[in-house]
Amino acid sequence: METKDAIIVGAGFAGMYMLHKLRSEGLTAQVFEAGEGVGGTWYWNRYPGARCDVESLEYQYGFSSELQAGWTWTERYAAQPEILRYQNYVADKLNLRRDIRFSTRVTAAHYDEGSNRWTVETDRGDQLETRFVIMATGCLSSTSLPKFDGLENFKGDWYHTGGWPHEGVDFTGKKVAVIGTGSSGVQSIPLIAEQAEHLTVFQRTANFTLPAGNRPLKSEEIARSRTSLLDDRAYARTTGAGIIAYPGNEALSTEMTEAERLAEYKARWEAGGFSFLGSHGDMVMSHDANSLAADYARERMSQRVKDAACAELLLPNDHPIGVKRLCLDTGYLETFNEPHVDLVNVRVHPIERITEQGVQAGGKEYEADALVFATGFDAMTGAINAVDIRGRAGEKLSDKWAAGPRTYLGLGSAGFPNLFFITGPGSPSVLSNMIVSIEMHVEWITDCIRRLGSGNLGTIEVDKQAEDEWVAHVNEMASETLYPEANSWYMGANVAGKPRVFMPYPGGVGVYGEKLAEVVAADYEGFRLSA
């Protein structure tokens, strides 16, 4: 059987960097990637308007000034094609492709206690033996398409934003229906509306959205980032979200005068981006604080929509601001001022079925030549559970996680030796700049593997008690916030039957990074290292 030191699942930002790091340690690594190219989420999410919501100067690798020197971002928030070009540039520069098998999905990873090795299988018949399995599968990569009766009879074409055709889709002259108004819907709807003859948007939950404020980058911003990259990234690791632009205001809303608070809201709203959520330190901790900001946001949102009844429908009123992922948009709310765009509230007019000609909701048929499902992802656990992972005594990881993911630090799970997750559940991951969190994990895993090698140790495994304590700690922290109040994908609430558990670690990148360092300083406290 073919053998490798490590198998890496996925060739997005995480898998690419992991491969680079393991190679630099002199290890053999094989990456498997379902797509035909590198990129992960940016390979699949090619829907119109797909764009990053973290600024491009921060949403790039931070480990190499040399890589950065050869690349120039053009916009404040990079669009999907530019990010994918960047990832291909990195793959070329680091000569990564020779160790990546594309169009190949890992189907199984089974641990053998006798040999202390994993056997990894793919849908193309590969079978490899390896010491380490590293899941670089991404948090938002397993698309979620809820069951809609009748979809199989629909006469037109339908698409999911998370698996968009590479050749693009031309909606010119078509009647289009979009289901879903999360970030993907909010980004794609304005551009679909520009082409479509008629657009019907089916909204279940109105989301908080604010103008992204995208613009071309200034040459001085680019020049500055070229010299400050390494320092900026070291600093980003000490912050809450791994983002340095617009630091949060630590003052509580109760410590601010109304005038101070309103000035803070205004400045941050107009700056665009996630800055608004940093207006005061108690944003996701207190209802009173949160509703002050939510009221301000609703007021600003309503100013963008001409029809009062339509504006009312578009204003979120069933969850605190910031506890579902805030959307950043470019012209989203204004799209509903267009005469050829309709909004259907599916809470009042539930979608009953897809018909041959469109969507039937609330007893009425809405004609459509094309359907777009912007219905999101089986987030954080979907792509991991899709692989048949078996640890000690043949235990299935997905069985172990049936009531919610169980990890220590989001890096590993008890009973699954030498299996690592990059940005797994229980780590800051989706509450942070993903690139910062990815780099922290990749470097931690690399150091850990080096430690095992230098000490002639074969195995690292999470200690069950440490895992139980970490899971309890994450749950307790989440319960002190407003996060559990929303039906968000953070909570698994968007996928039928998924356990309702807050999955990311809400304590912030800086605190989490300190914990990672303490664990290493105490020779991998909470893990068991053995020969």
Q: Which positions touch ligand N01 (CB under 6 A)? A: 51-53, 140, 146, 161, 179-185, 187, 202, 204-205, 325, 328, 346, 351, 374-377, 487, 489, 494
Least distance in Å: CB of 255 to ligand N01? Answer: 31
Could you tell me the two tokens for 50? 């797909």
Least distance in Å: CB of 163 to ligand N01? Answer: 11
Nearest residue relative to ligand N01 (C-beta) = 182
- Based on CB atoms, which residue is closest to ligand N01, 393 or 496? 496
Sign of CA dihedral 381, 384, 389, 391: negative
Least distance in Å: CB of 175 to ligand N01? Answer: 19
Using CA atoms, how far apart are residues 491 and 482, in angstroms rounded to an integer?
12
- Based on CB atoms, which residue is closest to ligand N01, 382 or 391? 382
Could you tell me the two tokens for 168? 């693009």
Residue 59's nearest CA partner among 86, 36, 34, 35 is 86
The single residue listed with the structure tokens 């944003």 is 283
The single residue listed with the structure tokens 């002199």 is 26
Least distance in Å: CB of 350 to ligand N01? Answer: 8
Least distance in Å: CB of 224 to ligand N01? Answer: 23
Least distance in Å: CB of 415 to ligand N01? Answer: 30
140 DSSP 8-state letter:
S
508 contacts 240 by C-beta, under 8 angstroms:
yes
439 contacts 16 by C-beta, under 8 angstroms:
no
Using CA atoms, how far apart are residues 300 and 312, in angstroms rounded to an integer?
12
- Based on CB atoms, which residue is closest to ligand N01, 128 or 199? 199
529 contacts 456 by C-beta, under 8 angstroms:
no
- Based on CB atoms, which residue is closest to ligand N01, 266 or 349? 349
Q: Count Cβ atoms within 10 A of the Cβ of residue 398 and give its class: 0-12 exposed, 13-18 middle, 19 or more buried.
A: middle
- Based on CB atoms, which residue is closest to ligand N01, 278 or 322? 322
Least distance in Å: CB of 368 to ligand N01? Answer: 15
| Strand 117-122 relative to strand 351-354, pairing | unpaired
109 contacts 252 by C-beta, under 8 angstroms:
no
- Based on CB atoms, which residue is closest to ligand N01, 432 or 446? 432
Using CA atoms, how far apart are residues 74 and 71, in angstroms rounded to an integer?
10
- Based on CB atoms, which residue is closest to ligand N01, 179 or 199? 179
Least distance in Å: CB of 429 to ligand N01? Answer: 10
- Based on CB atoms, which residue is closest to ligand N01, 19 or 193? 193
| Spacing of C-alpha 530 from chain mean position | 34
The single residue listed with the structure tokens 């009879």 is 153
Phi then psi dihedrals of residue 153, to 5 deg: -95, -5
- Based on CB atoms, which residue is closest to ligand N01, 306 or 347? 347
Least distance in Å: CB of 62 to ligand N01? Answer: 18
